[in-house]
Structure 1
Amino acid sequence: MMKAKYITPVVTVMDKEGNPDMEGCGKVYEHLIQGGVDGILLMGSIGEFFALTMSQKKELIRYAVHKINHRTQLIVGTTSMIVDEIIELSRFAKQEGADAVIILPPYYFPLGEKSLESYFGMLAEALSDQPIYLYNFPDRTGYDLTPEITLRLVRKYKNIVGYKDTQAGMDHTRELIKLVKGEFPEFEIYSGFDDNFAHNIMAGGDGCIAGLSNLVPGLCHSWTEAFAREDLEQVSVLQKKIDRLMEIYQVGTPFIPYIKEAMAIKGIIDCACSSKPFPKAGEEEKEHIRRILKKTEIL
């Protein structure tokens, strides 16, 4: 039996002023849990963590823990450019009852290999009583958290338990799986784009932490089930469907407002608003999204 997990980096539903709408967020958590996702990642990139104040983040964590109520795994994004804020928010997440945290490398200025290793080492020591996932997103940070650095960190810190690799291809993730899982089979390695899910599992990884599951959690869950049954024909059918849905990521830049628009068209959320200065989908983009959803029989 092939074990595969699909974790949703959940969108943060916002009101017209760009503040988190708790009730709207709660509806999305419920939609994901009913859809069968294996976990929820709160305040990832798609969750617009970078646009939330410390008090908004804490309010969101408290609400999510209460609403999700341990019905699925809850991982909290605690990335900040201020180290003390990462530590404070991570400790707060644990105290409230979240299962783990996920942290990006610092962005804007790249760190050298030794500096990056000591940065995550410092965080792992400060948060020694809670599980940490590493988050690699070179398009956003400007540099790579390499498989070699990762292996050295995992050898030293038992609380570094997994890694999300948001890269278009599978080359980097495959190297990571070979190097780190070769020595630590329990270490979890996830791809950050939906269309890499099947490739990740076939290469020996654990699945995906990827955004389309906000829109189609049931479809993503059935993909994990197809793997559990070793039904490769169904795996292939769902791969093609997801490949077509990936077009939503290309509707506009950045992709977050357009994923939200697709969710609004589907009736999952009432308002497709995002944080400032993100654009709103215009009529042309809405029509484009509707065409994608119709083509993939989602509408």
Structure 2
Amino acid sequence: MKAKYITPAVTVMDKNGNPDWKGCGKVYEHLIQGGVDGILLLGSIGEFFAFTMSQKKELIRYAVKEIAHRTQLIVGTTSMIFEEIVELSRYAKQEGADAVIILPPFYFPLGADSLENYYGMLAEELSDQLIYLYNFPDRTGYDLTPEITLRLIRNHKNIVGYKDTQPGMDHTRELIKLIKGEFPNFEIYSGFDDNFAHNILAGGDGCIAGLSNLVPQLCHAWVDAFACEDMKKIGRFQQKIDRLMELYQVGTPFVPFIKEAMSIKGIIDSPCSSRPFPVAGEAEKEHIRAILAETDIL
């Protein structure tokens, strides 16, 4: 069975919330050497919301140079300003990124017709670029439904994939059932690591999920287990990921605590995140160490 594991990379920052270029480069190298199938830059765990347009462009330019086409690079270009999405998406293509991924507008939910029209306008403006749709109802407040998605991909061939960040598989499964029969090459990814195996078994393409920042080798081995149809290994990796999912529950939001786990593991030097995100205290650090010890990650 074919499967892909794409990492939405964390953005390493200094104490002032500015990108730490050396740290970011270290993460990209860690992911590539770990065997991930792609890197998503400026996603939710990458704190896209925390950077100015000029910082985003500099980060894109740096990532393209460091990754150097050794793995797929998808860039998050979400903004509440339509023109900024277009500008940043065109910039990403100009610099050499492979595709972009875009959330629906947030704060005010759009109706079904308006949402379809919104993505349709973006697809036309970016007609020479590959676009992934990004559904994250917990952040946007509403759903990019399978029905809207099907209509969009019938009309816009440059819409090539979908990241579905939902805690369960019900919605993703309906998306797969509705779309894959007509568009078998349309890529459908789950946004949480523990849904990876279910996604593949249901006919999807894998995950774009955050734990692969910490354990890219494990995630790559999971992909290989599917390629070999080794159900014993698939089950063993599922159980380890299920235990590691507790990292998402250490604190709210989860981003600083994933970074803290990476810092404890020695992948990054600093777990700093954007303001006003919390900083892990001693109790949270001990909780993280216990999770890593229990799963043999330390």
Verify same fold: TM over 0.5. Answer: yes
Equivalent residue, structure 2, for 1:159:
158
Aligned to 1:11: 10
Aligned amino acid, residue 117 of structure 2: S
* CA distance in 1 between partners of 2:275 and 2:55 (Å): 15
Distance 1:51 1:182 in 2: 39
| Aligned residues with identical type, % of pairs | 82
Question: How far, CA to CA, are the matches of 2:255 and 2:27 in structure 1?
Answer: 15
Separation in structure 2 between the aligned mates of residue 220 and residue 23 of structure 1, nearest angstrom = 24
Q: Within 1, Cα distance between the matches of 2:253 and 2:66?
A: 29
Q: Distance in 2 between matches of 1:156 and 1:234?
A: 40
> Which amino acid counterpart does residue 262 of structure 2 have in structure 1?
M
- Structure 2 CA distance, aligned partners of 1:31 and 1:51? 23
Pair 1:27-2:26 in alignment: yes
Residue identity opposite 1:93 in structure 2: A
Aligned to 2:227: 228
**Which position in structure 2 is the counterpart of 1:76?**
75
Distance (whole Å) between structure 1 residues aligned to residue 20 and residue 77 of structure 2: 19
Match of 1:169 in 2: 168
Per the alignment, residue 275 of structure 1 pairs with 274
Q: Give, in whole Å, the separation in 1 of the partners of 2:215 and 2:180.
A: 29
Aligned-partner Cα distance in 2 for 1:174–1:20: 37
Partner of 1:188: 187
User: In structure 2, the residue corresponding to 1:183 is in which secondary structure?
Assistant: coil
Structure 1 residue ranges, 4+ long, deviating more than 2 angstroms after superposition = none
Q: Provide the C-alpha distance between the structure 2 equivalents of 1:52 and 1:199, rounded to a whole number of angstroms.
A: 34
Deviation at 1:182, TM superposition (A): 1.3
Secondary structure class of the residue paired with 2:5 = strand
Secondary structure at 1:80 match in 2: coil
Matched position secondary structure for 2:297: coil
Cα deviations across residues 31-86 of structure 1 (Å, max 9, x unaligned)? 00000000000000000000110000000000000000000000000000000000
Residue 221 of structure 1: how far off its partner (Å): 0.2
List aligned pairs for 1:232-251, cutoff 5 A. 232-251=231-250
Structure 2: 5+ residue stretches without partners: none
Deviation digits for residues 113-152 of structure 1, max 9, x if unmatched?
0000000000000000000000000000000000000000
Q: 1:1-299 residue pairs with structure 2 within 5 A? A: 2-299=1-298
- The one-letter amino acid paired with 1:103 is I
Corresponding letter in the other structure for 1:196: N
Q: Deviations over 1:262-285 (max 9, x none)?
A: 000000000000000000000100
Report how many aligned residue pairs link the two structures: 298
SS in 2 for 1:105: coil
- Between the aligned partners of 1:181 and 1:238, the Cα distance in structure 2 is 26
Letter paired with 2:192? F
Distance (Å, rounded) in 2 between the aligned partners of 1:52 and 1:190: 26
- What is the SS of the residue equivalent to 1:230? coil
Root-mean-square deviation (CA), in Å?
0.3
- Displacement of 1:29: 0.1
Distance in 2 (CA, whole Å) between partners of 1:129 and 1:150 is 19
What CA distance in whole angstroms lies between the structure 2 residues aligned with 1:51 and 1:141? 17
